[in-house]
């Protein structure tokens, strides 16, 4: 073997590939964490925690009426971009997705049912006096009990303000 020649395995390309792979794995994880951290609040958010950005999403999605205040908000979209939201106000429960809004007035709610579906999360079903149903699913660790409690309290308060109406028939 002459001077300047090496025998053996070509380590330089292997080390470059391993270094790039390690950088991409660690860098990708860091970028993902930074992106998730900048997505805004996730889970059920109480009215006092609603930012201007969230308020803008609510106004665009469900068109708040005069005198209507937000009690709680939940963005079910992965990117928390407001593309699938549930909003509880002092007058109604509204669900908006893809430009379509489904809503039910609190005074029309006859029954609020709750089921803890394990890995699915908290499933809240609301039944109106007319028999119409709305369902909201809040994944685990996203504040389902907060939304349930707020909904029950708001529904009872709304029905109590109407003369001659029953306050509630709570589910199990």
* CATH for 91: 2.30.29.30
Q: Which pLDDT does position 29 carry in this prediction?
A: 65
Tens-digit pLDDT profile for residues 109-156: 999 999 998 899 999 999 999 999 999 999 898 888 999 999 999 999
pTM of the model: 0.70
Other Cβ atoms within 10 Å of 107 Cβ, number: 17
Q: Which residues of 7-39 are buried (b: 16+ CB within 10 A; e: fewer)?
A: eeeeeeeeeeeeeeeeeeeeeeeeeeeeeeeee
Q: Shortest CA distance to 139 belongs to which of 117, 116, 121, 127?
A: 121
For residue 89, being part of any structural domain is answered with yes
For residue 53, being part of any structural domain is answered with yes
For residue 161, being part of any structural domain is answered with yes
Q: Which pLDDT does position 172 carry in this prediction?
A: 43
Q: Tell me the HSE value of 76 on the side-chain side, using a 13 A CA sphere.
A: 20
Tens-digit pLDDT profile for residues 36-82: 455 555 688 888 888 888 888 888 888 888 889 999 998 887 766 76
How many domains does one find in the chain? Answer: 1
For residue 131, being part of any structural domain is answered with yes
Q: Which pLDDT does position 7 carry in this prediction?
A: 60
Query: Which of residues 87 and 22 earns the better pLDDT score?
Result: 87
Question: Under a CB-based contact definition with an 8 Å cutoff, are residues 93 and 103 in contact?
Answer: yes
For residue 11, being part of any structural domain is answered with no
Which range of residues forms the domain containing residue 76? 44-170
For residue 146, being part of any structural domain is answered with yes
For residue 36, being part of any structural domain is answered with no
For residue 6, being part of any structural domain is answered with no
């Amino acid at each position: 073997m002459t001077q300047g020649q090496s025998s053996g395995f070509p380590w330089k390309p292997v080390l470059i590939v391993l270094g790039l792979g390690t950088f991409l794995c660690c860098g990708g994880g860091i970028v993902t964490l930074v992106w998730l951290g900048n997505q805004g609040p996730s889970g059920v958010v109480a009215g006092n925690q609603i930012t201007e950005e969230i308020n803008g999403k609510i106004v665009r999605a469900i068109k708040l009426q005069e005198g209507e205040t937000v009690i709680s908000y939940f963005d079910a979209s992965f990117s928390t971009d407001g593309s699938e939201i549930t909003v509880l106000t002092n007058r109604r429960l509204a669900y908006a997705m893809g430009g379509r809004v489904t809503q039910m007035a609190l005074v029309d709610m006859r029954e609020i049912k709750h089921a803890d579906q394990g890995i699915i999360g908290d499933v809240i079903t609301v039944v109106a006096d007319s028999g119409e149903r709305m369902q909201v699913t809040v994944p685990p660790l996203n504040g389902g009990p907060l939304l349930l409690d707020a909904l029950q309290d708001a529904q009872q308060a709304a029905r109590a303000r109407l003369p001659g109406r029953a306050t509630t028939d709570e589910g199990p």
